[in-house]
Chains A and B, each alone.
Chain A
Amino acid sequence: MTAPEDKPFEEWDRPRQGWMLSGDCRGHRQRTLLLEMTTRALFPTVLVFSLYLLLVGHYGPGGGFAAGLVAGLAFVLRYIAGGSDAAVRLRPPVLIGLGLTVALLTALAPTVVGAPVLATTKLALDVPLIGHVETQTSVFLDVGVYLLIVGVVLDLLRSLGAGIERDMREAGETPS
């Protein structure tokens, strides 16, 4: 039994393929054209929707966790359409770590101005083109959670999806 870590880090954790692009599907036998085409349209739409959920989260239904899951579902859809080779060029653990760092720094930041940990305050911005935007500083915490959840979903796809299929190929079994 070879544990993943027997290989040097760079090898086992390196993304093996590019983003799944349309026309780049390698499992030619099992292509589902309909799903592939739908995914092509849905993927960016779902990602934009997840960003919307992330930003309205403080005053309406949504938030970092829900938005992260929705974004993760977009990647799941792409994985189903593109099969085992639909890896992404990001290391999921790095995404998890980045998200956690952002969330924790947001939690610690108020102590600099003498407020308790995790304290939030209103954030009013005048953004060009969009206009006046009001939100809370906790949106940064939500961004951290968002990144973390997307990272977790990608890691699940890598280890429980693509990883298992790769192991099956190496063992000479064909995925049914």
Chain B
Amino acid sequence: MSYLLPLPVLLPMLGAAISIVGSRSATLQRVIGVVVLAAVAALAGVLLVATDRQGPIVTELGGWPAPVGIALVADRLSALLLLVSTLVTLAVLVYAIDQRITDLGRATASTTFHPMYLMLCAGVSLAYLTGDLFTLFVAFELMLTASYVLITRRTGANRIRAGMTYVTVSLLSSLLFLTAVAMVYAATGTVNLADLAGRVGELPPGLQTVLGMMLLVVFGIKAAIVPMHFWLPDSYPNAPGPVAALFAGLLTKVSFYALLRTQTLLFPREEPWTLMLVLSVATMLVGVLGALAQNDLNRLLSFLLVSHIGFLLYGLAVFDAAGVSGAALYAAHHITVLATLFLVSGLITRRSGTVALDRMGGLLRTSPGLAILFAIPALTLAGVPPTAGFVAKLALLQAGAGSGPAEQAVAGVVVLASLLTLYALVRVWVRVFWGEPQAPVPDVDPADEVLVGTARTSVPMYAATAGLIVVSLAIAAFAGPLAGMTERAGVDLLDREPYRVAVLGEAP
């Protein structure tokens, strides 16, 4: 089984390499991209079943034993998130390919889009699978460097400006990350996560706090935790539809995964984490209140994205098996639903020509299919039963209810934020789908990647969006087995021994 482990990283990279070499053939690029991501999704499914049956799977690159060499580790949490992420990247790729065909014709090969897309997927896989802090840094760089290209390619000055914010903030946090890795190495002499799990505990408490806070700030910036979220609503809405969906679905959640992994493995706690609880309340409320003030559909969704990062943090703040398991389940739901909503927003702008809510209307009459595609993920995000959002929120609330009084009080904030989310999305529904149909606004910048207001869409774009909705519904339908599995994942995460034993051998 362990020989399968490097493939989710190496296959997309190989796909990227082949799509550069064969960059004259648009068809080759499309086929390679879809085939590679489908293969990775299948692999992730196999890994998920295998890790759930037999515990963490480890492979050592080049045969060098950990902690000297680099280990790749898949456990239940990473395999689950890898599977969900790959399904999202696959659907978004199909959508993006078809949007390019619809807008630009069949013969558009590109030396940047496909290779960079696959490189980003390789980085995401590596971030989930690596058992090594420095390799985690490399994975983030791989992912972010590809995302810099995707967010700035073929755009006008305005989008470049928004991209600059994103690039600057990401580079700053990467610099901090590298500093943190260096500090961890200086203090302990290792960057292997399993080895660190034993060594960090031997450090003086002050130093432990510094290292923990460094990593919290690093992943906090990348995961858009309030007050380090300011860059996100400024940059994501300006990216082209599929790219925004990709970023919204994956990047922040990969950072949250890294936060969850490092905090549970390196800095174990006995009781709930008050600081994280405060951050979670701030993130939930600032995000959702920001969303209520927006007139721009994409900015509204970006603020909701920030708000729902707070739900994930709540699970981590509770810091017991139930909380961590709820956070894992919520992350899987969050990845799919946010990507879906951004794809739908892309479809809406193709009809309306604008993202301004007050200049749209009556889409229910002109395109009822779109209304269904919006309604289901919107209800899912708000957590209305029986959707996946409800299941995931229920897991979080149950975890909170079983914890201390402060956590129980914050459970009220979770419910409030969910209701405000529903209110924000109902506002979108009323503005966009009800009322008199309005003529599409002409495209502001016809030369750039995004053609809007043309009302030209095609079946695969709808199918890809619907596919993601099916994934989200599947999370709800298989909530029982999934919750059982994330619960086992949560127990393992807090126990830490299975991970350490799997990486370092029987006698750590």
A97 touches which of B10, B21, B108, B447 (Cβ 8 Å): B21
Complex alpha-carbon distance, A107 and B448, angstroms: 38
* Chain B interface extent, by class: 20 to 34
Contact B61 A97 (CB under 8 A): no
Q: Give chain B residues whose Cβ lies under 8 Å from the Cβ of A114.
A: 3
B62 touches A118 (CB 8 A): yes
Closest B residue to A144 by beta carbon equals: B17
Chain B residues with Cβ under 8 A from A94's Cβ? 20-21, 23
One of B18, B20, B63, B115 near A119 (C-beta < 8 A): B63
Tell me the nearest residue of chain B to A6, going by C-beta.
Answer: B447
Cβ-defined contact, B447 with A3, below 8 A = yes
In the complex, how many angstroms separate the beta carbon of A167 from the nearest chain B beta carbon?
15
CB nearest neighbor in A for B61? A118
Cβ of B62: which chain A residues have Cβ within 8 Å of it? 116-120
Most central of B2, B10, B20, B60 by chain A CB within 10 Å:
B20
Residue-wise, chain B 437-466 has the 8 Å CB interface mask toward A (1 for contact) of 000000000011000000000000000000
Cβ–Cβ < 8 Å partners of A93 in chain B: 20, 23, 111
Q: Which of B1-45 contact A (CB under 8 A)?
A: 2-3, 6, 10, 13-14, 16-24
- With A and B bound together, what is the CA distance between A116 and B1 in angstroms? 11
Contacts of B447 in A (CB 8 A): 1-3, 6
Query: Does B61 contact A100, Cβ atoms closer than 8 Å?
Result: no
In the complex, whether B110 has a CB less than 8 A from a CB of chain A is yes
Closest to A111 in B: B3
A104 contact set on B, CB distance < 8 A: 10, 13-14, 17
A residues in contact with B448, CB < 8 Å: 3
Contact with A3, one of B10, B22, B154 (Cβ below 8 angstroms): B154
Cα–Cα distance between A9 and B2 once the two chains are bound (Å): 41
Across the interface, do A117 and B10 meet the contact criterion of CB distance under 8 Å? yes
Asked if B298 lies at the interface with its beta carbon under 8 angstroms from chain A, I say no
User: Does B418 belong to the interface (CB within 8 Å)?
Assistant: no
The CA of A116 and the CA of B10, in the complex, are separated in Å by: 13
Contact of A116 among B3, B19, B108, B109 (CB under 8 A): B3
Further pairs besides A97-B17, A100-B16, A117-B59: 12, Cβ < 8 Å? A1-B157, A3-B448, A93-B111, A97-B22, A104-B14, A108-B14, A116-B2, A116-B59, A116-B63, A117-B10, A118-B61, A118-B62
Give residues in A with beta carbon < 8 Å to B. Answer: 1-3, 5-6, 8-10, 13, 93-94, 96-98, 100-101, 104-105, 107-108, 111, 114-120
Please list the residues of chain B having a beta carbon within 8 angstroms of any beta carbon in chain A: 2-3, 6, 10, 13-14, 16-24, 59-63, 107-111, 115, 154, 156-157, 447-448
Q: List 28 A-B contacts (CB under 8 A).
A: A1-B156, A3-B154, A3-B447, A5-B154, A6-B447, A9-B24, A9-B109, A93-B20, A93-B111, A97-B17, A97-B21, A97-B23, A100-B13, A100-B16, A100-B20, A101-B17, A105-B14, A107-B6, A108-B14, A111-B3, A116-B2, A116-B63, A117-B6, A117-B61, A117-B62, A118-B61, A118-B62, A120-B62
